């Protein structure tokens, strides 16, 4: 039996990952979450409600900022820690950079200290494409030297990777950083663009587009992303790795909206505003490393992914 701790496990990505993990009877899965009010905690509790009766699942409510609480509640040894818990989002981080630093950097260090103390051998860290900042060298490769985030959120994720390198080197456990690119699908957070667009277009309300709608995002479907995390569980060929998990197919915002219109059968009302600080013109993952090391092969088309999300949205509503 392999004991796995998933921090932030009640969120969008975490709950989908746990859903996959608990189907393996060789995994004992512990979900750590503080049910932060960034969005309605009831949504997160609903995400994990099907797991609560599973014999190989345990929920622990705790805050990653409270190291003493973590030590008290997480005494048993874990074979693997998957660290997803974080303050999320580029734009909110511009308004409250201090809190993002406290949660994402100090919280990550607390988890690394816990890994060290429990003699855990593997730590998988959810990083972000935001670490690349405004970088013309597309598609973005993990060995890119010009890592200059332009948001506090991106800076905290870059800091987490550096902390992971230090701890991995000093204390002898494996650290894998998975850089995620605009994840979407059923259970997506309500603050993210696809969720907001679908909701507002469905209600006949205007959606806001910043700039001219020419920005591009590498939209990654949740099932494809989870497959990358699952593959990373078995990767053991190096002590420290950074790996992109994207789709390698950037889509213009305008095209995304047209796809949503087509899936909903309804025209969008648009409100155009100037570009915002912190936003980048493109995210674009080079996934050749993930293909090589993890046999990662995202194969969900945007139209299929949106169709799945919209079906989920209608049922959830």
Measured distance CA(300)–CA(249) in Å, rounded: 11
Are 19 and 187 in contact by the 8 Å Cβ rule? The answer is no
Q: Does 77 map to a domain?
A: yes
Mean pLDDT of the chain: 96
DSSP 268: P
Q: What is the pLDDT of residue 125?
A: 98
Q: Does 15 map to a domain?
A: yes
Q: Does 99 map to a domain?
A: yes
Structural domain of residue 17, as residue ranges? 2-184+220-246+285-299
| Model confidence at 317: pLDDT above 80 | no
Q: What is the pLDDT of residue 211?
A: 84
For range 80-84, the mean pLDDT: 98
168: exposed, middle or buried (Cβ count in 10 Å: 0-12, 13-18, 19+): buried
For range 94-102, the mean pLDDT: 97
pLDDT digits (tens, 9 = 90+) for 138-177: 999 999 988 999 999 999 999 999 999 999 999 999 999 9
Q: In this structure, what CATH number is given to the domain that contains residue 290?
A: 3.40.50.720
Q: Does 199 map to a domain?
A: no
93: exposed, middle or buried (Cβ count in 10 Å: 0-12, 13-18, 19+): buried
Q: What is the pLDDT confidence band of residue 8, given thresholds at 50, 70 and 90?
A: very high
245: three-class secondary structure by DSSP: strand
Prediction pTM value: 0.97
pLDDT digits (tens, 9 = 90+) for 17-76: 999 999 999 999 999 999 999 999 999 999 999 999 999 999 999 999 999 999 999 988
Q: Does 148 map to a domain?
A: yes
The most distant pair of C-alpha atoms in the chain lies apart, rounded to whole Å, by 56
Measured distance CA(246)–CA(290) in Å, rounded: 9
pLDDT digits (tens, 9 = 90+) for 126-135: 999 999 999 9
pLDDT digits (tens, 9 = 90+) for 273-314: 998 999 999 999 999 999 999 999 999 999 999 999 999 999
Q: Does 206 map to a domain?
A: no
22: three-class secondary structure by DSSP: coil
Among all residues, which ones are annotated catalytic?
153
Rounded to the nearest 5 percent, the helix, strand and coil shares of the chain are 45, 20, 35
Q: What is the pLDDT of residue 136?
A: 93
For range 209-221, the mean pLDDT: 92
* Total tally of structural domains belonging to the chain: 1
Q: Does 164 map to a domain?
A: yes
Q: What is the pLDDT of residue 71?
A: 94
């Amino acid at each position: 039996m392999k004991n796995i701790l998933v921090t932030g496990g009640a969120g969008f990505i975490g709950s989908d990952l746990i859903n996959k993990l608990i189907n393996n009877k060789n995994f004992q899965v512990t979900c750590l979450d503080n049910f932060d009010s960034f969005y309605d905690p009831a949504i997160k509790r609903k995400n994990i409600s099907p797991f609560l009766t599973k014999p190989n699942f345990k929920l622990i409510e705790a805050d990653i900022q409270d190291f003493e609480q973590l030590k008290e509640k997480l005494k048993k040894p874990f074979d693997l820690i998957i660290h997803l818990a974080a303050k999320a989002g580029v734009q909110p981080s511009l308004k409250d950079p201090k809190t993002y630093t406290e949660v994402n950097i100090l919280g990550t260090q607390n988890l690394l200290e816990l890994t060290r103390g429990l003699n855990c051998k593997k730590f998988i860290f959810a990083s972000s494409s935001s670490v690349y900042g405004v970088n013309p060298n597309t598609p973005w490769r993990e060995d890119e030297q010009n890592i200059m985030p332009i948001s506090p959120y991106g800076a905290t994720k870059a800091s987490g990777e550096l902390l992971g390198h230090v701890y991995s080197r000093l204390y002898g456990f494996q650290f894998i950083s998975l850089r995620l690119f605009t994840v979407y699908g059923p259970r997506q957070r309500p603050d993210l663009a696809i969720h907001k667009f679908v909701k507002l277009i469905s209600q006949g309300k205007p959606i806001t587009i910043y700039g001219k709608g020419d920005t591009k995002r590498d939209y990654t479907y949740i099932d494809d992303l989870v497959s990358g995390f699952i593959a990373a569980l078995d990767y053991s060929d190096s002590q420290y790795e950074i790996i992109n998990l994207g789709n390698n197919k950037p889509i213009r915002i305008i095209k995304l909206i047209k796809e949503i219109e087509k899936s909903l059968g309804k025209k969008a009302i648009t409100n155009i505003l100037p570009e915002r600080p912190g936003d980048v013109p493109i995210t674009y993952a080079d996934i050749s490393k993930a293909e090589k090391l993890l046999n990662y092969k995202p194969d969900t088309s945007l139209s299929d992914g949106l169709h799945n999300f919209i079906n989920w949205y209608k049922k959830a509503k």
